[in-house]
Chain A
Amino acid sequence: VSGYAYGVAGWLMLVGVLGIVRARDLIAAVVSLSVTQAGSYVLLLAVGYQRGAVAPILGPAGAGSNPAAVVDPVVQAMTLTDIVVSATVTALLLALVIQVAKRHGTVDPDELRALRG
């Protein structure tokens, strides 16, 4: 199972990058960026996964009889933290896309000619 998860993570990252490279629309590029990011989250969660383990919610007594049988909370905290950061970045980028559409009259990256050489 974990090999499959790693495969999915790598696939998502590559597909996201390919999406940015081939996007004909900046909105699609920003969404592809989110796909790339989702790949890294799948990778993180796959790292912390254990078969048969429970959610890492520990009471004062720990995780019952078998303290080892929780999935790793650290990667989940990392994923959550990064989701928050990336939500900011995505919002900012989408706002910039709106301004690009207003000022350039297009959202096709092939037609943006202001900066080159």
Chain B
Amino acid sequence: VPGIDALPVLAIIVPVLVAVGLIGFGALVPRVLADALATGTAGLVLLGLLVLAAGDGPPVRVSWLGGWLPDAGGGVGIALVADRFAAGLAALAAGLVTVALLYSWRYLESDESHFHALVLLFLAGMIGFTLSGDLFDMLVFFELMGAAAYGLAGYKVEEPRSVQGGLTFGVVNSVGAYVTLAGIAVLYARTGQLGLAQLAVAVGGQPGDALLLFGFALVVCGWLVKSAVAPFHFWLADAHAVAPTPICMVFSGVMAELGLYATLRLYTVVFEPVLPEAAMQRACTVLGVATTVVGALMCLRQRHLKRLLAFSTIAHIGLFLLTLRALDPAALGSAALYVVGHAGVKGALFGLVGLLLARYGSVDELDLHARARGNRVAGCLFLLGGLALAGLPPFGTGLGKALGELSAEHSGLVWAPWLFVAVSSATGAAVLRAGARVYFGAGPAPADSADSSGSSGEPRTSGADEERETEGRLPRAPRAMYTAVLTLLAVGLAVGVLPGLGSSVAGAAADFGDRAGYLHAALGGPPPTALPGSVASLEWTTSGWWLGLLSAALAAAAAAAAVYRRPLLRLVAARWPVGTRRRIVRPRSPWVRAAAAPLRVLEALHSGHVGDYVAWLMVGLAVLGALVVLPV
């Protein structure tokens, strides 16, 4: 196809130009036109990226911006590198943005087109970050994506929570970006290069000294902040709780995952020969387990529905890290399928929560109890989403989970499948519990006081007086919003059932992991001699299917136990002697307190205080540095 080489550049420039136009002429553009223009642009970008991702040209497409080439004479140049894997991830970003814009047609009704412009800038930042083949360029796109995202998170400027969450998000992520910049400076000082391929050549001949590894830790730190890996994760729940719903879809579905992608990119292209695989695996294990456990526990404790989904995203980020731990193409492909499936399912759940907000003016599980009983369809979709999140076959989340279990187990973590099952069913159970209460009025109406006392008696974040994102109360859900939700759920399902998707993703992942191929495409020179290893098949396995069913069943059981806790306890306790009954069943009994103590500590750590979160960032940096630099 002629002109296909221009697609990576166009995918970044076109959204920026349209955004600038929308800001410049925003006052003249009617809302309908702004909607059509923004959605159309995102859709076009999606098409272009899909062509790149599915195209059967060279596996790695390199375009040197402005025609500046780093020739043998030491010239300088900045490359965009679009392999099929990167293009596919960028296409996921464009797809989610398209759906989010579609969702906001009737949502966020106001005459401003700032929103559309910000979303398009955000998209350009994400695509640029994904396709860039240059470390400093990545940082610039990272900050572009960040600045647009801070603005979007704090978009509801009249709402107290919204501005606080946006500010926290901005400060924590900016500190992360400056740490990354310092890391880039360290790597540049050591090697004199910024391009990933050039860095790889410069680093390849050197022993992996501590300075290089320290630089790697600094660079990756900022990206893991974006990925909300514990203990960098605190900002994510705050940002998700306050951002407009369509933005939450993009934050959760792809923005956080981009940090993991960039880490992997830097590792496979540059640091594979320098950083021992065992050290990288150790980092993945420690950070992955911490992230997933913290996310799952906090998810179960939430009553604010968006916050609940946000912590479930954190839990899944941890699972993605554990999936990637094997650091081979199969792991990469598994994680990619998991990410796409998760993006669809989680986006649909956010969309349904947005519908609740539009109709009832609340996103609080306790406040909404039984209030949405009229919406059977939405309720069933919500429960289906919860089961899918737990890993119900044949959803993409289930396939990703099954492959992740396999990959983590093969990389040496024999207990990994059980952790996957526990975490998936915990996040699924939280969603099912909320869905059963809100849409079906299941269980006794939870008393606000008994369930809401968090750490030190302070109320937990409630979603009761959330600012509406629509003009007035919507009598029924607009068709555009339902279309968006159904599209996302269909994507989540399609990942698990489309035949052939697994093998093409595996092929793209093999190209991504092919270091020699990347260097050859970017810098020329001799073509790689060794062909990439055999392409793994990413298909359902019998054990994966059964473990998915098990997770979904566990999630349903746990949700039922949570909803009907009091009646169940009464039923059980009726068979016990009175003394035992008092001691065990009373909510303030020492047994219950002791069991809840670690949870209370964990909850208290999520203090909403930006200083605390930055302090944790420094702790995380120290841990990350130790994990990377210390010999295994």
Q: Is the CB of B178 within 8 A of A92?
A: no
Segment with Cβ contacts to A, from B144-152, B438-446, B501-509: B144-152
Q: Is the CB of B614 within 8 A of A96?
A: no
The answer for the CA separation of A23 and B171 in the assembled complex, in Å, is 12
Partner of B185, one of A43, A85, A92: A43
The answer for the CA separation of A93 and B178 in the assembled complex, in Å, is 15
Q: Is the CB of A92 within 8 A of B606?
A: no
Within 8 A of B (CB), among A64-98: 74-75, 78, 81-82, 85-86, 88-89, 92-93, 96-97
B70: chain A residues within 8 A (beta carbon): none
A47-B185, A88-B147 as given contacts; A81 in contact with B140, CB under 8 Å: yes
Within 8 A of A (CB), among B186-208: 186, 188-189, 194
Contact surface of A with B, Cβ cutoff 8 Å: 9, 13, 17, 20-23, 26, 29-30, 33, 36-37, 39-40, 43-44, 47, 74-75, 78, 81-82, 85-86, 88-89, 92-93, 96-97, 99-100, 103-104, 109-110, 112-117
Q: Is the CB of B194 within 8 A of A89?
A: no
B181 interface contact, C-beta 8 A: yes
A21-B611, A113-B608 as given contacts; A103 in contact with B158, CB under 8 Å: yes
Tally chain B residues at the interface, Cβ within 8 Å: 58
List 22 A-B pairs, Cβ < 8 Å. Answer: A17-B614, A29-B610, A30-B171, A37-B174, A43-B182, A44-B185, A47-B188, A82-B140, A82-B143, A88-B147, A96-B150, A97-B167, A99-B157, A100-B163, A104-B164, A109-B609, A112-B164, A115-B241, A115-B608, A116-B461, A116-B606, A117-B604
A104-B164, A113-B608 as given contacts; A39 in contact with B614, CB under 8 Å: no
Q: Is the CB of A13 within 8 A of B171?
A: no
Query: Separation in Å of the A110 CB from the closest CB of chain B?
Result: 7
Partner of B301, one of A29, A82, A117: A117
The answer for the CA separation of A93 and B158 in the assembled complex, in Å, is 15
Apart from the given pairs A117-B301, A117-B454, 9 other A-B contacts in the complex at a CB distance below 8 Å: A20-B175, A21-B611, A21-B615, A89-B170, A96-B157, A100-B167, A115-B461, A116-B455, A117-B606
Who on chain B is nearest to A112 by CB? B164
A74-B188, A104-B160, A117-B458 as given contacts; A17 in contact with B618, CB under 8 Å: yes
The answer for the CA separation of A104 and B238 in the assembled complex, in Å, is 16
Partner of A92, one of B136, B140, B151, B603: B151
A43-B185, A92-B150, A110-B609 as given contacts; A85 in contact with B143, CB under 8 Å: yes
Q: Is the CB of B609 within 8 A of A112?
A: yes
Within 8 A of A (CB), among B299-352: 301
Query: Separation in Å of the B173 CB from the closest CB of chain A?
Result: 9
Partner of B146, one of A89, A110, A112: A89
Q: Is the CB of A20 within 8 A of B611?
A: yes
B159 interface contact, C-beta 8 A: yes
Who on chain A is nearest to B298 by CB? A117
B168: chain A residues within 8 A (beta carbon): 115
Query: Separation in Å of the A112 CB from the closest CB of chain B?
Result: 5
The answer for the CA separation of A28 and B158 in the assembled complex, in Å, is 22
Query: Separation in Å of the B123 CB from the closest CB of chain A?
Result: 17
Q: Is the CB of B607 within 8 A of A116?
A: yes
Query: Separation in Å of the A24 CB from the closest CB of chain B?
Result: 9
B166: chain A residues within 8 A (beta carbon): 96
Q: Is the CB of A89 within 8 A of B143?
A: yes
B238: chain A residues within 8 A (beta carbon): 115
Partner of B171, one of A9, A78, A93, A117: A93
User: B593-604 vs A: 1/0 string, CB under 8 Å?
Assistant: 000000000011
The answer for the CA separation of A103 and B158 in the assembled complex, in Å, is 7
The answer for the CA separation of A112 and B238 in the assembled complex, in Å, is 12
B114 interface contact, C-beta 8 A: no
Who on chain A is nearest to B460 by CB? A117
Partner of B189, one of A29, A47, A100, A115: A47
Q: Is the CB of A33 within 8 A of B174?
A: yes
The answer for the CA separation of A97 and B614 in the assembled complex, in Å, is 17
B161 interface contact, C-beta 8 A: yes
Q: Is the CB of A40 within 8 A of B185?
A: yes
Partner of A109, one of B189, B454, B611: B611
B242 interface contact, C-beta 8 A: yes
Query: Separation in Å of the B77 CB from the closest CB of chain A?
Result: 12
Who on chain B is nearest to A13 by CB? B182
The answer for the CA separation of A33 and B179 in the assembled complex, in Å, is 11
A37: chain B residues within 8 A (beta carbon): 174, 178
Q: Is the CB of A114 within 8 A of B194?
A: no
B615: chain A residues within 8 A (beta carbon): 21
A40: chain B residues within 8 A (beta carbon): 178, 181-182, 185
Who on chain B is nearest to A91 by CB? B147
A13: chain B residues within 8 A (beta carbon): 178, 182
